[in-house]
Structures are given as C-alpha cells and as structure tokens.
C-alpha cells in the first residue's frame, strides 16, 4: 500500500466569524458592524463546505473589559468536527482554561498579550504551545509596521508603540504556537492580502503564520500562499457573503499547485 504520493501538511482556509452579542457580524476596517447570521448555523455551514478551521473572535469582549461568554463555545464544539480557535477577552490562564474546557482547540490573545507579555509564557506552560495563538493587528506606518491594541471598537483602539516584527520575534521566544497577522490597512478592503508585510513576518516566524485582512478574490489566496508562504489564509466577508465558495476556492488552489485538503 506504499508508493503513493506522500503529501505534506495542507495550507489551511479559515473563515473568521466575528461574534458580537451571540451573532456573527462583520465591519469594514473594524467599524460599522453588520449582522451576518447565527454562530452555530454559520459554523455548521463552513464545516460542510470544507473549511479547515474556524476562528471565532468575540469583538465585544476585550474593549469592554469582559471575558467571553462560554456557552456558545460549548455549542460550537458539540456541533462541528473541525478545529476552532476562540479569540477575544481571554486575559488569564483561568479564562483560557474555561474556553478550552468547553471544547475550543486553541485560544488566541491579542491586547492582553501586549499589556502583559508574560501571559503568553503562562498560557504555554499551562496548555502547551499548540493551544496558544497570538493575534497581531498591524498597520503600515511610513516605512515601518506597528501594532495596535483594543481594536474591537474604534474609540478604544490604542498604539502601544511596538514594531510589529519585534513583537513577532518576542511572541515566538515566549513560546507561542501560531500567529494570526491581521494587516489592518488591508482589512475589509478586498484589495488583497498585504504580501509585503506578510513576507517580512514569514522571515521571522518559525511557527505557523495565518494571513488576515484584504481577501477579495480567489487570486488573492493563490498569491498569499505562493508569495508570502503563509500556512493559512483567514477571511470573513468573502465567505459570509458567498462571494467565494470554499469548495471552488480549494479547487482553484489545487490547480495552482498549492496543497489543500480536498473538500
């Protein structure tokens, strides 16, 4: 039974579901959120369409200083049989344990890691690197890239004064298992992923890198895998709206020679 082509790990397609008050919403450049549908219905739809993983981002959690409501996490875990990550409002080992105990496979932290980087080490020690994803919101700022925190609501957004690449190196040193790099200038524009910034991030990241922000066409996905060598591509609007169906996207990626899991 040997001798068949033995592939390597597939590039992942990850729909991101921004959650607010139990509904999936989507805004443009983090503003003006519109309701897109019910969490469980959308999660089941993406599972059926062949999504490789889901990210649920509780956008109300972090700016308002509260943690995620975990009941929907359990309902998602009961419903779907693909991995999912929960982001937003996790600011301690205890709140992470609560989300993981309801069935989330990974937790993603962003603002709390910037406020207290030692939290990354604590989470890695408690749950292992494979559970700990760092979300990074980054803006091209002249010739530099700098991070933003508290991005869930525009009024709360802050600029902690860190260079993105320095921060990425630090989270690796602290044991993070994966990075989702959201290029905010591209987010919601559907003008394509920020290939330049993602390529720079790739050079400093030995761990999996997930591209986020800017997906608008199938070609954008082909380009981000081929040119920025990311491990996964995350998108929201183009999937929620049905503009890019995942089976067709994966077919196109396979035809372009990119390894994907068949739907």
Residue 105 is among the residues annotated as catalytic for this protein: no
What does the DSSP 8-state code read for residue 184? T
With CA atoms as reference, report the closest residue to 230 among 213, 252, 248: 213
Residue 74 contacts another protein per CB under 8 A: yes
For the bound state, the minimum distance from the C-beta of residue 261 to another protein, rounded and expressed in Å, comes to 4
- By CB under 8 A, which span of 7-15, 163-171, 186-194, 248-256 interacts with another protein? 7-15
Active-site choice (52, 58, 137, 187)? 137
Euclidean distance between CA atoms 173 and 161, whole angstroms? 19
* Residue 149 backbone phi and psi in degrees, to 5: -125, 170
Q: Which two tokens stand for residue 186?
A: 């591209």
Euclidean distance between CA atoms 103 and 76, whole angstroms? 8
Euclidean distance between CA atoms 19 and 55, whole angstroms? 10
- Rule CB under 8 A: choose which of 58, 137, 194, 231 binds another protein: 231
Each residue 77-106 as x (binds another protein by CB under 8 A) or -, in order, gives xx--xxx------------xx--xxxxxx-
What does the DSSP 8-state code read for residue 208? -
Residue 66 contacts another protein per CB under 8 A: no
For the bound state, the minimum distance from the C-beta of residue 25 to another protein, rounded and expressed in Å, comes to 26
Residue 18 is among the residues annotated as catalytic for this protein: yes
Q: Which of residues 176-205 bind another protein (CB under 8 A)?
A: 177-178, 205
Euclidean distance between CA atoms 80 and 86, whole angstroms? 14
Residue 45 contacts another protein per CB under 8 A: no
Contact 93, 113 (CB under 8 A): no
Q: Known catalytic residues?
A: 18, 137
**Residues interacting with another protein, by CB under 8 A?**
1-2, 4, 6-12, 47, 52-53, 74, 77-78, 81-83, 96-97, 100-105, 126-131, 177-178, 205-209, 231-232, 261-262
């Amino acid at each position: 039974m040997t001798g068949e082509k033995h592939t390597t790990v597939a590039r992942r397609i990850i729909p991101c579901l921004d959650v607010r008050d139990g509904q999936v919403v989507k805004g443009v450049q983090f503003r003006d959120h519109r309701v897109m549908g019910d969490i469980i219905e959308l999660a089941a739809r993406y599972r059926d369409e062949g999504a490789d993983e889901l990210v649920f981002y509780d956008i109300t959690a972090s700016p308002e200083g509260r943690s995620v409501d975990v009941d929907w996490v359990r309902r998602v875990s009961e419903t779907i049989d693909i991995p999912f990550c929960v982001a937003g409002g996790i600011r301690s080992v205890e709140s992470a344990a609560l989300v993981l105990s309801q069935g989330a496979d990974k937790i993603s932290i962003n603002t709390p890691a910037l406020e207290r980087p030692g939290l990354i080490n604590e989470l890695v020690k408690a749950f292992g690197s494979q559970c700990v994803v760092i979300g990074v919101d980054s803006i091209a700022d002249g010739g530099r890239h700098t991070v933003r925190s508290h991005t869930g609501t525009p009024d709360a957004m802050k600029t902690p004064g860190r260079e993105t690449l320095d921060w990425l190196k630090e989270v690796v040193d602290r044991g993070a298992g994966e990075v989702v790099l959201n290029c905010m200038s591209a987010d919601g524009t559907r003008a394509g992923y920020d290939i330049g910034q993602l390529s720079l991030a790739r050079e400093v990241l030995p761990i999996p890198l997930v591209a986020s922000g800017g997906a608008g066409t199938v070609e954008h996905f082909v380009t981000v895998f081929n040119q920025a060598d990311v491990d996964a591509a995350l998108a929201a609007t183009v999937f929620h709206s049905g503009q890019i169906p995942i089976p067709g996207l994966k077919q196109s990626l396979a035809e372009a020679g990119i390894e994907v899991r068949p739907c």
